[in-house]
Amino acid sequence: MAARPDPFAVQLRPMGAADIDAVMAVELSVYPYPWTEGIFRDCLRVGYCCWIADSAAGIAGYFVLSVATGDAHLLNLCVAPDSQRSGLGRRMLRHALRLAREHGGDTIFLEVRPSNESAIALYRNSGFVEVGMRRGYYPAPKGEREDALVLALVL
């Protein structure tokens, strides 16, 4: 079994268009209903805070954050399978929270699948609280839909 990368040996840096192929490889390896390359390109084009966790072995994770009129929205936070449960997700989340504050956010929101227990634990341990539910938000097997928990944190 390969050793997990040290999350603090990973460099956090802004995502660029040249990173999209590697980001897509991680996205496809983690999510059954992944974002498209076009979504990532659009996020870069409109100026969202798109960051990657770059390791010697490649992209270990990334996040996408938007901030407007005081509200921040964590749109995507993903850790590559080999880097999961290493503390990297927590490190990236802390960085996203700092960026949200620096860009004038006073509250940050996110959606998460109720079935994603590890993500929910990360967010709740970081102070997020449930503020709502979006019915049928996520695609699910057999054409069904899964709800999304809406979580928020006052920055």
- Asked if 123 is an active-site residue, the reply is yes
- Asked if 31 is an active-site residue, the reply is no
Query: DSSP of 86-148, one letter per residue?
Result: TTHHHHHHHHHHHHHHHTT-SEEEEEE-TT-HHHHHHHHHTT-EEEEEEEEEEE-GGG-EEEE
Q: Are 46 and 76 a contacting pair, CB within 8 Å?
A: no
Catalytic residue among 111, 130, 137, 146: 111
Catalytic residue among 37, 123, 137, 138: 123
Known catalytic residues are: 111, 123
